[in-house]
């Protein structure tokens, strides 16, 4: 990997500041990182294969996979790096860039809720935007990463690490006490309990935790979706998924169905298409290893 | 510690929380969380919640969802709450560890109650 070239490109990116979050300034960087990501070919191939085996019609799987890959690289290596390099500017940008009117109205109507979505393009920036919005939910993350060390202090108490034993307890208690939480369930971590669902005609396993949280807390799940725009990006909400007298499976399937409708209209936005494949855990592990290699290379510039 | 315990009972008219009662409640919670009719002999104070490095240790193999259900059961049925920091600490690994934590915190709550 030509690390000097990437580090130079990253420094140029950081110099752009929040402008790099929108507009075409980042295309060259995305292309450079995308070319050198060790799992790039696997990611694109698996994404195309996943798209081809669903009910999605009228699209070329390879073309969509190429777009998904660019969005994946942008999310992991532009979005996260800028959030790490300039956390306060990123928080200010997120505060003004997102139109939260739909989620705010939904929570006003439903009370404390589980705000949930799949991993769409720009999800870390959206999570930050939701965290600094009037909703101020607890935000879940898989584990501590480099961003934690440089995040604005006031967000520290808002983050719940799913690697902690107490994560589910903390989220349930928060919901019962009237605080919303943000949870994503399409990425299944090793040893996490899963539920089989149908997504665009394919059996897909997702984390079971959201259903348990909803039933134990008695709070609804509000599906979220968005498509990043250069100007203001609007967060959309689906109909709240209610829990009364329903099974966890039924709650989660309704949520997945709501996400599937968004994905069918905006297939390039979903970064985790390969979740529908049986070998998703192996692919995820390889992609994660590749991410870490690229991160290690780019860290020199931070 | 015993003196503190007695003072709490006298001052606030609180029944002492018996270890066996807590143990039975935890057993009930585990059966509900796992949806399996485990016997008392299968859930002893030395039973681990999760797999350990030692293959000889008896273990319930709870996952995060089972464990959450157990904690919520104790809160809702008995009003016993364990702080999140103690749940994450390595001292909460066995059924007996959890019983001790419940007693410690319920006693602490009673001592703080009038203030």
Q: Do B72 and A167 touch (CB under 8 A)?
A: no
For chain B, how many structural domains are there in total? 1
Q: What is the DSSP string of chain A?
A: --HHHHHHHHHHHHHHGGGGGSSGGGHHHHHHHHHH-TTHHHHHHHHHHHHHTSS--SS-HHHHHHHHHHHHHIIIIIIHHHHHHSHHHHHHHHHHHEE-HHHHHHHHHH-S-EEEE--BTTHHHHHHHHHTSTT--EEEESS--GGGGGS-GGGGGGEEETTSTTHHHHHHHHHHTT--EEEE-SSPPTT--EEEEEETTEEEEEESHHHHHHHHHT--EEEEE----SS-EE-EE---B--TT--HHHHHHHHHHHHHHHHHH-GGGBS-GGGGSTTHHHHHHHHHHHHHHHHHHHGGG-
Q: What is the pTM of this model?
A: 0.88
**In a domain? residue B24:** yes
Q: How many residues are given for chain A?
A: 302
The answer for residues whose C-beta is within 8 angstroms of residue B66's C-beta and 6 or more apart is B30, B33, B34, B60
For A168, the closest of B64, B85, B92 (CB atoms) is B64
Structural domain span for residue A233: 98-265
Task: State yes or no: pLDDT of A17 exceeds 80.
Answer: no
In angstroms, what separates the C-alpha of A215 from chain B's closest C-alpha?
A: 10
Task: State yes or no: pLDDT of A240 exceeds 80.
Answer: yes
Torsion angle, CA of A91/A93/A95/A101, rounded to 10 degrees? -140
- Closest Cα in chain A to B71: A169
Contacts of A173 in chain B (CB under 8 A): 84
- Closest Cα in chain A to B88: A165
**In a domain? residue B92:** yes
Based on the domain organization, do A63 and A177 belong to the same domain? no
Residue A98: its pLDDT value, please?
95
- The rounded distance, in Å, linking the Cα atoms of A124 and A139 is 10
- Reference A167, options B5, B65, B6; nearest CA is B65
Based on the domain organization, do A169 and A261 belong to the same domain? yes
Cβ count within 10 A of residue A78: 23
Mean pLDDT of A127-147: 83
Contacts of B69 in chain A (CB under 8 A): 212, 216
Structural domain span for residue B104: 17-112
In angstroms, what separates the C-alpha of B87 from chain A's closest C-alpha?
A: 6
**In a domain? residue A256:** yes
Residue B55: its pLDDT value, please?
75
Q: What is the pLDDT of residues A82-103, one digit of tens each?
A: 888 888 888 899 999 999 999 9
**In a domain? residue B12:** no
Task: State yes or no: pLDDT of A149 exceeds 60.
Answer: no
Task: State yes or no: pLDDT of B8 exceeds 50.
Answer: no
Mean pLDDT of the residues in chain A: 89
- The rounded distance, in Å, linking the Cα atoms of A71 and A32 is 13
Grade residue A231 by pLDDT with cuts at 50, 70 and 90: confident
Mean pLDDT of A131-151: 76
Judge whether B68 and A172 are in contact, CB under 8 Å. Answer: yes
Based on the domain organization, do A55 and A116 belong to the same domain? no
Task: State yes or no: pLDDT of B7 exceeds 50.
Answer: no
Q: Do B68 and A168 touch (CB under 8 A)?
A: yes
Based on the domain organization, do A154 and A80 belong to the same domain? no
For B67, the closest of A165, A170, A213 (CB atoms) is A165
Contacts of A208 in chain B (CB under 8 A): 65
Give A237's Cβ-side CA count (13 Å radius).
22
The β-bridge partners of A197 are: A204
Contacts of A167 in chain B (CB under 8 A): 64
DSSP letter assigned to residue B42: G
Q: Cα–Cα–Cα angle for A104, A149, A131, nearest 5°? A: 0
**Predicted complex: ipTM over 0.90:** no
Based on the domain organization, do A157 and A82 belong to the same domain? no
Mean pLDDT of A98-121: 97
Q: What is the pLDDT of residues B37-63, one digit of tens each?
A: 999 999 999 999 988 877 778 899 999
Residue A83: its pLDDT value, please?
87
The β-bridge partners of A270 are: A120
**Residue B60 belongs to a domain with what CATH number?**
1.10.1200.10
In angstroms, what separates the C-alpha of B68 from chain A's closest C-alpha?
A: 6
Cβ count within 10 A of residue A54: 20
- Closest Cα in chain B to A212: B65
Lowest model confidence (mean pLDDT) among A74-78, A109-113, A273-277: A74-78
In angstroms, what separates the C-alpha of A176 from chain B's closest C-alpha?
A: 11
**In a domain? residue A168:** yes
């Amino acid at each position: 990997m030509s690390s000097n070239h990437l580090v130079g490109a990253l420094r140029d990116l950081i110099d752009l500041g929040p402008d790099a979050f929108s507009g075409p300034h980042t295309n060259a960087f995305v292309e450079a990182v995308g070319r050198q990501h060790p799992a790039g070919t696997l990611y694109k191939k698996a994404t195309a294969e996943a798209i081809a085996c669903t009910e999605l019609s009228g699209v070329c799987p390879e073309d969509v996979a190429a777009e998904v890959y660019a969005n994946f690289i942008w999310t992991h290596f532009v979005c996260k790096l800028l959030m790490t390099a300039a956390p306060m500017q990123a928080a200010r940008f997120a505060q003004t860039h997102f139109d939260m009117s739909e989620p705010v109205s939904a929570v006003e109507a439903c009370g404390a809720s589980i705000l949930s979505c799949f991993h769409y393009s720009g999800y870390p920036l959206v999570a930050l935007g939701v965290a600094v919005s009037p909703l101020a939910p607890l935000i879940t993350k898989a584990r501590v990463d480099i961003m934690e060390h440089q995040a604005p202090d006031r967000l520290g108490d808002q983050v719940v690490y799913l690697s902690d034993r107490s994560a589910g307890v903390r989220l349930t208690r928060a919901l019962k006490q009237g605080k919303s939480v943000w949870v994503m369930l399409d990425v299944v971590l090793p040893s996490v309990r899963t539920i089989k669902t149908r997504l665009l005609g394919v059996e897909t396993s997702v984390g079971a935790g959201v259903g348990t949280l909803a039933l134990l807390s008695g709070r609804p799940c509000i599906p979220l979706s968005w498509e990043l725009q250069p100007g203001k990006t609007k967060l959309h909400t689906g109909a709240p998924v209610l829990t009364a007298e329903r099974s966890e499976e039924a709650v989660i399937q309704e949520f997945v169905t709501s996400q599937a409708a968004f994905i069918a209209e905006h297939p390039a936005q979903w970064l985790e298409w390969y979740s529908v494949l049986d070998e998703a855990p192996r692919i995820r592990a390889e992609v994660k290893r590749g991410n870490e290699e690229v991160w290690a290379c780019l860290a020199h510039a931070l | 510690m015993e003196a503190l315990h007695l003072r709490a009972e006298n001052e606030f008219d609180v029944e002492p929380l018996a270890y066996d009662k807590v143990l039975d409640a935890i057993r009930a919670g585990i059966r509900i969380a796992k949806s399996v009719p485990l016997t008392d002999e299968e859930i002893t104070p030395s039973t681990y919640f999760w797999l350990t490095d030692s293959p000889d240790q008896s273990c319930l193999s709870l996952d995060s969802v089972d464990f959450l259900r157990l904690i919520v059961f104790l809160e809702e049925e008995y009003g016993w709450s364990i702080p999140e920091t103690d749940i994450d600490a390595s001292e909460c690994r066995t059924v007996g560890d959890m019983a001790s934590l419940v007693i410690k915190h319920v006693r602490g709550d009673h001592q703080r109650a009038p203030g």
